[in-house]
Amino acid sequence: MVSWRDDKARATLIRDAAGSVQPGKTPRTFAELLFGHTNIEDLAGYDALSLAFLAEQAWELVQMRTAGSADIRVINPMMPDGREISVLEILNDNMPFLVDSTRAELAEQGIEVTLVAHPIIAVERDVQGNLLHFHGEALPEGAQGARESLIHLHITRLDAETDRNKLIDGLTGTAGNPDTTITNVRNDLGQILPKISPVLDVAKIDLEELQRIIKGLDDVEKNANTLFDNAGKFLVTTDK
């Protein structure tokens, strides 16, 4: 459990980082939002200048997004303290289970995650996907925009371009597909339950309740399919 001292230290570090971004280049509110929910343990190896630098890098990605798709990149920035790290960033529609699906692919490729940041950002874009306005975490009333998912992960160093491309290719099939992310979580639960059921029984945990959760994921997937089908029919109708 994070103590109030840890929480205070995290808040101070993030505030200092936001105050260290280059004026006029990156909004302070973006830097605060980027790391605002990151665990203090993940932030332990970073100072304010390093986090400010990372926020400026991430802000560059936010400037442009291809509508309806996930923009994925793996970069190897040279940190202000000289450290070399790899950063995976995915800018996407806000959908459930995106981080879970991403981490599953990373685990499949044997890539370790050392820092997780996942803010939801409220933005307005033009028809080409260029950023017009950044509103922080929520859209103001009357704004014509959307809330997008920004996944920012620090991962095992990937020096080879082939390794970076392999990761991007593996993520491309899941990052933009809500059905895949839901299916991944459901399948993971389905594989885990038989292995841990004896432990659950000893701990008096209701196995049937967990099975109902899996059934609920099935329902979510079916409802998502229906929603997307209806949206597609609507768009076809309005185009005529």
Residues 232 and 239: their CA atoms lie apart, in Å, by: 11
Q: Is the confidence at residue 234, as pLDDT, over 70?
A: no
Task: Look at phi and psi of residue 145 and say left if phi exceeds 0, alpha if psi is from -120 to 50, else beta.
Answer: beta
The model's pLDDT over 100-146, given as tens digits with 9 standing for 90+, comes to: 999 999 999 999 999 999 999 999 999 999 999 999 999 998 888 99
Nearby residues of 234 by Cβ (< 8 Å), 6 or more positions away: none
Instruction: Name 30's bridge partners.
Output: none
**Region of poorest pLDDT, from 15-24, 78-87, 179-188:** 179-188
69: pLDDT confidence band, cut at 50, 70 and 90? Answer: confident
Whether the CA torsion 33, 175, 64, 50 is positive or negative: it is positive
Residues 28 and 49: their CA atoms lie apart, in Å, by: 13
The model's pLDDT over 14-45, given as tens digits with 9 standing for 90+, comes to: 999 999 999 888 999 999 999 999 999 999 88
Residues 120 and 142: their CA atoms lie apart, in Å, by: 19
Residue with tokens 């370790």: 112
Percent residues over pLDDT 90 in the chain = 57
Q: What is the pLDDT of residue 86?
A: 97
216: pLDDT confidence band, cut at 50, 70 and 90? Answer: low
Q: What SS3 state is found at 29?
A: helix
The counts of H helices and E strands in the chain are 8, 6
Closest CA to 168 of 222, 56, 78, 88: 88
- CB distance 22 to 55 below 8 Å: no
| DSSP string for residues in 74-139 | EE--B-TTS-B-EEEEEEEE--TTHHHHHHHHHHHTT--EEEEE--EEEEEE-TT-BEEEE-TTSP
Residues 163 and 156: their CA atoms lie apart, in Å, by: 11
**Region of poorest pLDDT, from 14-23, 133-142, 157-166, 181-190:** 181-190
The reported pTM is 0.73
Q: Specify the pairing of strand 131-134 against strand 71-75.
A: unpaired
